[in-house]
Amino acid sequence: MKKILAFGEILIRQQSVGTSFFEAENNFLSIYPGGSEANVATALAQMDNAVSYVSAFPENALSNEIIDILKKYGVDTAKTLFKGDRIGTYLLLSANGLSKGEVIYDRKYSSFSQLTRADIDIDDLLQDVDWLHWTALTPALNENLTLVMQQILQAAKERGIIISVDLNYRNKLWQYGVEPLEVMPTLISYCDVIMGNIWAANKMLGTQVDSNLDRYTSKETYMKAAQQSANEIFQKFTTCKHIAYTFRFMDNPTHNLFYGTYHTRENHTVSATHETNAVIDRIGSGDAFMAGFIHALRHEMTPQQIVDTATGAGFQKLFVKGDFGNGKID
């Protein structure tokens, strides 16, 4: 059976359980394995899709434990790369991940960040794969990984593999002297499926976005903005066939308002609006949306079913602790 391949950096999330890492009552941290691509892989596996995940790990007991966790979720890890000495981390300075908080990345010199094109056996990587998923987090790390990603994307396209991307934009990661607009359009030109939001599309692909849009902008206005943005992408990137955008707003640490849009060259569809005041963990909700989007496309659902499945998966992740979701789609 052909598999979905998710390629990207494995991470460890370290999270304060109070308002500070060093307050007296904060005697421990919450620690979870994660990373956008791993989050997508575990969600897809729980939706009963055949999926493999490839990242670079150091050879140690911590790596083995994370790999075992991925396997328990049903993710194939047979193509794991072993290199370097450490797993990248990020520190979340907000209790339970409920507020925007402060994020500190510690990803330099990680095993994944040191990958080069010489480390990738393309034939092995893409064997038995019919769908490749990646995110903008990879080329954000350094120039070598941009070259690695381009090598993989070109080979995947030559093999007729469907390619999806999440336009994850993290301004703290783009620190090696280039702007996303200098890198991302070339990589996006290989992609069939794009997910993100209208603001990330603006930052990475140069599409237009109205600076006056905010939390209180109507859903109808946002739908028009999403349609305009998607049409610009379709015009710029002839390979692209499917686009999905998320709209997520929070009024307080436990609140979330969530809906999504789905676009093809012929149709533009919006989901129902989901809202809750009982958020448990908002980390990974976009990744769950991405997993639901891929799942729905692979199962050839109708446009309304596609956007509802993706949005439902993203919303359900809000009630699951940790980076990995539970694979629910409604």
- For residue range 21-77, list pLDDT tens digits in order: 676 565 667 899 999 999 999 999 999 999 999 999 999 999 999 999 999 999 999
Confidence grade of residue 101 (pLDDT, cut at 50, 70, 90): low
> What is residue 67's three-state secondary structure?
helix
Q: Region 295-323: what's the mean pLDDT?
A: 97
Burial category of 255 from C-beta neighbours within 10 Å (exposed 0-12, middle 13-18, buried 19 and up): middle
The residues with which 56 forms a beta bridge, in sequence order, are 81
Helices (H), the chain: 36-46, 61-72, 122-126, 143-158, 180-188, 198-205, 219-236, 285-298, 303-317
pLDDT at 150: 98
pLDDT exceeds cutoff 80 at 102: no
| Beta-bridge partner residues of 209 | none
- The two tokens of residue 160 are 């007729």
The yes-or-no verdict on residue 219 having pLDDT over 90 is yes
Task: Look at residue 254 and give its three-state secondary structure.
Answer: coil
The pLDDT of residue 99 is above 60 = no
pLDDT band at 130 (very low <50, low <70, confident <90, very high): very high
Measured distance CA(198)–CA(260) in Å, rounded: 11
With beta carbons less than 8 A apart as the criterion, state whether 33 and 11 touch.
yes
Query: Tokens at residue 192, please?
Result: 């069939």
Residue 46, number of CB atoms within 10 A of its CB: 22
Higher-scoring residue by pLDDT: 60, 92: 60
Query: Per-residue pLDDT averaged across 216-242, rounded?
Result: 97
* Max Cα-Cα span within the chain: 58
Answering whether pTM is above 0.85, one says yes
Calpha distance 268→290 (Å, rounded): 17
Structure confidence by residue, pLDDT tens digits, 240-276? 999 999 999 999 889 999 999 999 999 999 999 999 9
300: DSSP letter: T
Question: Backbone phi, then psi, for 257, in 5-degree steps?
Answer: -115, 130
pLDDT band at 328; cut points 50, 70, 90: confident
Task: Report which residue type is found at 320.
Answer: V
Strand partners, 215: none
In the chain, the percentage of residues whose pLDDT exceeds 90 is 87
